[in-house]
Amino acid sequence: MTASSSSDNSNSRIQRVLRVLLTVAVVAAAVWAGFRLWDHYELAPWTRDGRVRANVVQIAPDVSGLVTAVPIQDNQSVAAGTLLFEVDRARYDLAVRQAQAALSAQRAASAQVQRENARNTGLDELVSKEVREQTRSRVEQMQAAVAQAEVALDSARLNLQRAQVRAPADGLVTNLDLRQGSYAAAGRPVLALVDAQSFYVEGYFEETKLPRIHLGDRVRVTPMGGGAVLEGAVDSVAAGIADRDRSTSANLLPSVNPTFNWVRLAQRIPVRVKLDPLPEGARLVAGQTVTVQVLEHGAAAPKKG
């Protein structure tokens, strides 16, 4: 009985120790998990408020006229130099021919005046000084007229060249608001071209997370709509944002809002991310929402299997 009682007491103590150790381990694990969650959600530099950006070129004709050709479609991918549309090329071709004819006429008239001037110069004793001066003045006027006609021809050729509007870069046509037969006005945009080589990401991070963001830090970008996870690096951090609680009064002094909110939300600062070459088949849309996670201190992003 004594040996059995001693064995039971020993087992009971071991079980109590195990329970205590297990409880401590569970509490420690919970504390560690809570700290990791708090660090991830409150301090770690990540945000769901990210946007894909790209350089968008507003395409407008430099000349006015009827649209005679639109060989592209909305949302079509085009290469640099691709013809986007054509504006009344026949009319501008006629303008070039008219300018060429005007230049030929001016050159002929100038040649005639120069011959007359040479003849008067050779007849120095038979032609009065006043007539010779008038002839030389006409020569100068005709030379100026020829130069003006040459400029008019160059201008007509430039207009003819710009009657064909071509893509300035590789990209995607979007918001095409143009049809054959419609009238295009010079300087009025008729479509947009998204530069295919200019995509980048802008993440809006809380100001409390900026100390943990450094130039060159690796970044993981996850599109909200799914798809391939993209990678990149921190390219720059915005130098300033607008202060909505302050304005400038009429006398150029700052006008500060006197009210105070007890809950002060952290300002969000734009951080620009330069993307690595996109995976094959990946497609970005300017303006789409992404989650941006900065891997601190330039840590390498884990390789995908």
Domain ranges of the chain: 46-55+197-298, 61-87+163-188, 89-162
State the fold for domain 89-162: Helix Hairpins (1.10.287)
Concatenated DSSP letters of the chain: -HHHHHHHHHHHHHHHHHHHHHHHHHHHHHHHHHHHHHIIIIISSEEEEEEEE--EEEE--SS-EEEEE----TT-EE-TT-EEEEE-HHHHHHHHHHHHHHHHHHHHHHHHHHHHHHHHHHTTTTS-HHHHHHHHHHHHHHHHHHHHHHHHHHHHHHHHHHTEEE-SSSEEEES----TT-EE-TT---EEEEETT--EEEEEEEGGGGGG--TT-EEEEEETT--PPEEEEEEEE-S----TTEEE-TTS-EEE-----SS-PPPEEEEEEEEPPPPTT----TT-EEEEEEEGGGPPPPPP-
Q: Are both 46-55+197-298 and 61-87+163-188 of the same fold?
A: no
- Which residue type does 127 have? V
pLDDT tens profile 143-179 = 888 888 899 999 999 999 999 999 999 999 999 988 9
Closest C-alpha to 193, from 175, 210, 211:
175
Quick one: CATH architecture of 61-87+163-188? Beta Barrel (2.40)
| Least confident span in 18-22, 75-79, 100-104, 274-278 | 18-22
| Mean pLDDT over each residue of the chain, to the nearest integer | 83
The answer, yes or no, to whether residue 116 has pLDDT greater than 60, is yes
Q: What percent of the chain has pLDDT over 70?
A: 80
Please, are residues 230 and 293 in contact by the beta-carbon 8 Å criterion?
no
pLDDT tens profile 42-59 = 557 889 999 999 999 999
CATH fourth-level superfamily of 46-55+197-298: Efflux pump adaptor protein, beta barrel domain (2.40.30.170)
pLDDT tens profile 171-225 = 999 999 889 999 999 999 999 999 999 999 999 999 888 988 999 999 999 998 8
Round to whole Å and give the CA distance between 224 and 226: 5
